[in-house]
Structure 1
Amino acid sequence: MEHRKKHFSPRPKSPLPLLVGRKPVAEALEQGQSVEKIFLLRSATGEDISHIKQLAKERNVPVSQVPVEKLNNLTKTQHQGVIAWTSLLEYVDLQEAISFITDKGQVPLFVLLDGVTDVRNVGAIARSALCCGAQGLILPTSHAASLTEEAIKTSAGALRQIMLCRIPSVPQAIDILRLNGIQVLGTHLKASVPVFEADFTAPSAIVMGAEDTGIGKDVIKRADQLIHIPMANSFDSLNVSVAAGMILYEAAKQRLLQ
């Protein structure tokens, strides 16, 4: 009888270093260690789980409740229903970032991502943002890409130089921006204002949406202005990172010519 060698597929490599177990994850949060994302077993309960959830909320760390198979796929170690990805980057509070920019006498220019989940797009946008003079990139805790080594590589290191601000939601970010006198410009295919008619010399935040759905309804309602990139024909399928680069260059041009 022929004996066939069994084939075992290797365990997928985690895109970021892991913290495993309830106590290590809680301690990392308590000590202010930069955590990219937390995975909690859906059925996990107890005071320590509630504590981790509360700390994550206070520090704007995304929490994903998952089945046990997801956790077992991340590690062979006893995980107690809790695993976290530690971050390769540091995050800055949005209000602190705004104050830092204005205290230096600079005019704020931010890029706010609404549903952009592809790490390569995030990396490319960060690269264009830094090159065009934007000081900060704002990322919501949900429906956002995790900033892995691939994102950093795609950004050519820009993600290590630009300020990264993580906030619970896009509407909350818009409220903070507007309270600080920063206009919010939403990008929308059906907007009536072409990008070159927007005034980027004023304190500004450009909102880029997901490629399939664009910016959310909350952004459309709350934005100070909706802008679009005029096209030579009816083909309107620009990649989000390319579109961001074009808008950011217009902002840089206006500021350089001012």
Structure 2
Amino acid sequence: MIIGRNNVINALQSGKALDKIFLNAKATGDPVSQIRHLASQHGVPLSYVPLEKLNGFNVDNHEGCIALISKVQYHNLQEVISWVVEKGETPLFLILDGITDVRNIGGIARTALCTGVQAIIIPEKGVGALNEDAILTSAGALEHVTVCRVNSLMKAVDELHLNGIKVLASEMTATTKVYDVDFTSPLAIIMGGEEKGIYPALMKISDEKFSIPMKGDFESLNVSVATGMILYEAMKQRSQGK
């Protein structure tokens, strides 16, 4: 933890990776305004909480502000896109929408690293914390795969489109099957949450939808397992030059 307003400001100004900032909902003053501005500038989630929540951390002199240091280094999406292209690689990104189970996130990160995914894109809110449990489940992969945290997945899709990257959505009712999709072009694949799936507006702006065929009438696959199937199809096609 980073404790106290000035300490949090210094951490933000130095570019230290922060997972979240807890700020007293009643806090006011110039340092508070500066924290809000810097948090927005660096894409760090800011949570307004009652004093009791902050006191629950059992630390002294928190001044109504506590930040949690991130276990993962976050990267700017456009910089990552440019880095991948400059290396002469074809972009293959994952977008995680509403996936809250850290075990699934860890499993996805592990498979992503093994199949050549260059970046995982997550939103500031509505996704499971990339904490020690997630890193453990990923067998350490989260410390090696590039992660981009964005304030809006909708804006991230716009940015991907501007860079010539198609966005595909995994959707269980889609008529196109996963093995009929061309995964050799610059792509980002959206995987939806365990309960609600992909956000409808995000689904709407995706370029193509596909499904994984299944025997029987069982409702769906685990999202980590489904991601693994999709990414190994993508790796197979890219290695064979479909």
CA-CA distance at 1:76 after TM superposition = 2.8
Tell me by how many angstroms 1:117 deviates: 1.6
Match of 1:63 in 2: 46
Once the two structures are TM-superposed, the CA of residue 78 in structure 1 deviates from its matched residue by: 2.2
TM-score (ref. length: structure 2): 0.96
Partner of 1:239: 222
What one-letter code is carried by the residue in structure 2 that aligns with 1:70? Answer: K
Matched ranges for 1:47-196 at <5 A:
47-196=30-179
CA distance in structure 2 between the partners assigned to 1:207 and 1:78 by the alignment? 42
Match of 1:9 in 2: none
TM-score normalized by the length of structure 1: 0.91
8 Å Cα contact 2:100/2:194 also seen in 1: no
1:74 is paired with a residue of what secondary structure? coil
Give ranges in structure 2 of 5+ residues lacking alignment.
none
Letter in structure 1 aligned against 2:42: R
Consecutive aligned runs of 4 or more in structure 1 exceeding 2 Å deviation: none
Aligned residues: CA RMSD = 1.0
Q: CA deviation at 1:84?
A: 0.5
Q: Which amino acid aligns with 2:111?
A: S
Q: Tell me what 1:220 maps to.
A: 203
What is the alpha-carbon distance in structure 2 between the residues aligned to residue 94 and residue 227 of structure 1?
25
Unaligned runs of 5+ in 1: 1-17
| 1:81 alignment partner AA | G
Q: Provide the rounded CA distance (Å) in 2 between the counterparts of 1:30 and 1:185.
A: 36
How far apart, CA to CA, are the structure 2 residues paired with 1:145 and 1:30?
26
C-alpha distance in 1 between matches for 2:60 and 2:180: 56
Matched, 1:199 2:182: yes
- Tell me the CA shift for residue 49 of structure 1: 1.0
Q: Deviations over 1:19-71 (max 9, x none)?
A: 11111111100111111111111112222111101101111111111222221
1:203 and 1:224 map into 2 onto residues whose CA distance is 12
Aligned mates of 1:227, 1:83 — CA distance in 2: 43
Q: Secondary structure at the match of 1:245?
A: helix
Contact 2:172 2:220 in 1 (8 A): no
The code of the aligned residue for 2:122 comes to L
2:239 aligned residue:
256
AA of the residue aligned to 1:123: G
Corresponding pairs, count: 241
Aligned pairs for 1:28-39 (under 5 A) are 28-39=11-22
The CA deviation string for residues 166-217 of structure 1, in whole angstroms up to 9 with x for no partner, is 1101101101111111110111122221111111101110111111000001
Deviations 1:59-91, CA, capped at 9 Å, x for gaps? 111111122222112233221111110112211
